[in-house]
Amino acid sequence: MNYRSIFKRYPRVFTFSVIIAVGLAAGLAGMFVLGAVSRRASKPVFEGRLADVPESPNCVSTRATDSLHSIAPLTFEGSPAEAMDRLGRIISEMPRTTICSVTARYMHVEFTTAFFGFVDDVEFLIDPDHQRIDFRSASRVGHSDLGANRRRMEDIRRRFDMAVTLGAPHGNVTAKENNMDPAINVRQPE
């Protein structure tokens, strides 16, 4: 029995199959459109502080006060310039990143997802008086990021802390050394 005879014998199976196929195609096309929209959406503008946190769960920030968005800042010893340099090297080693702007105290980075091309904006702001780096990581479009921004920032924290702990001269901690999948920057099970 081939598929044509099944569809003739059971027309509802054919109808259901067509509905599922059309729905999947429309959903996939929609994801690609959202990815294209995120590449054109507005970027944060630095005004001496990090951008505000949206109500949606697709953002984490060290300046947030609620548990959904809140995350601890990076801390450093030494000069702010050394900390910013270490952070810049770590970011530049990560896949699909674009460092958009850098000053002595601020860095804006775009992270792009591999498949759909969604863009997330990450801002870093050094507080030299408290030797900390505040940050905000947010998706440009959509409502949920399934925890991607939080995982990314915890990955950056591990790399930043590991660069100091291991005494890496250039802050170079590769994904392989840190048991990370470089394609998605998520810790893999051991």
Q: pLDDT class for 178, splitting at 50, 70, 90?
A: very low
Q: What is the pLDDT of residue 180?
A: 40
Residue 18 in 3-state DSSP?
A: helix
Q: Name the pTM for this structure.
A: 0.68
Residues 88-105 pLDDT 10s: 999 999 999 999 889 999
What is the average per-residue pLDDT within 55-66? Answer: 94
Residues 123-148 pLDDT 10s: 999 999 999 999 999 998 888 888 99
Give the separation between CA 171 and CA 152, rounded to whole angstroms.
17
| DSSP 8-state secondary structure symbol assigned to residue 65 | -
Residue where the block lists tokens 């259901």: 16
> What are the domain boundaries of the chain?
3-33, 41-187
User: Which residues contact residue 85 at a Cβ distance below 8 angstroms, ignoring those fewer than 6 apart?
Assistant: 171
Amino acid present at 1: M
Q: pLDDT class for 46, splitting at 50, 70, 90?
A: low
Q: Which two three-digit tokens encode residue 169? A: 């001269």
Residue where the block lists tokens 């998605």: 184
**155 or 22: which leads in pLDDT:** 155
User: Which residues contact residue 73 at a Cβ distance below 8 angstroms, ignoring those fewer than 6 apart?
Assistant: 62, 127, 132, 133, 134, 135
Lowest mean pLDDT among 13-17, 56-60, 106-110, 142-146: 13-17
CATH 2.40.50 is held by the domain 41-187 = no
